């Protein structure tokens, strides 16, 4: 009995490894798990500030002490633009 459980476990590990290595299958799981994942996984907090040259910087880490910055929250699906096919409106 223990032999069969060990063989089953090893088979599941090998199958999981090959499923993870397949880009198409990985994309399928990523697409279909968005609805069940907590919001913390689908949104991120970023920091935005201007450097001494006036260039805007964006990072997931805050700048050094003394540099003013603002916190920005990005949601995974924020930048999705609906197409004409979905809205029925011509641009």
Residue 39, token pair as written in the block: 């919001």
**Residue 71 confidence (pLDDT) above 70:** yes
Q: What is the pTM of this model?
A: 0.41
Q: Which domain holds residue 24?
A: 1-33
Q: Considering its fold, how many domains does the chain have in total?
A: 2
The predicted-structure confidence for 36-69, as pLDDT tens digits, reads as follows 766 555 677 889 999 889 999 988 888 888 889 9
Domain co-membership, 52 together with 82: yes
Domain co-membership, 21 together with 54: no
Residue 83's pLDDT band, with cuts at 50, 70 and 90, is: low
Give domain status of residue 23, yes or no: yes
Give domain status of residue 26, yes or no: yes
The per-residue DSSP string of 48-70 comes to EEE-TTS-EEEESS--STT---E
Give domain status of residue 91, yes or no: no
Domain co-membership, 46 together with 23: no
């Amino acid at each position: 009995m223990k032999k069969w459980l060990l063989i089953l476990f090893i088979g599941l590990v090998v199958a999981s490894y090959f499923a993870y290595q397949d880009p198409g299958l990985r994309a399928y799981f990523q697409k279909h798990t968005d609805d069940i994942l907590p919001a913390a996984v689908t949104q991120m907090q970023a920091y935005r500030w201007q450097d001494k040259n006036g260039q805007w910087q964006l990072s997931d880490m805050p700048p050094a002490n003394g540099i003013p910055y603002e916190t920005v929250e990005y949601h995974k699906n924020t930048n999705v633009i609906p197409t004409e096919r979905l809205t029925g409106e011509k641009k």
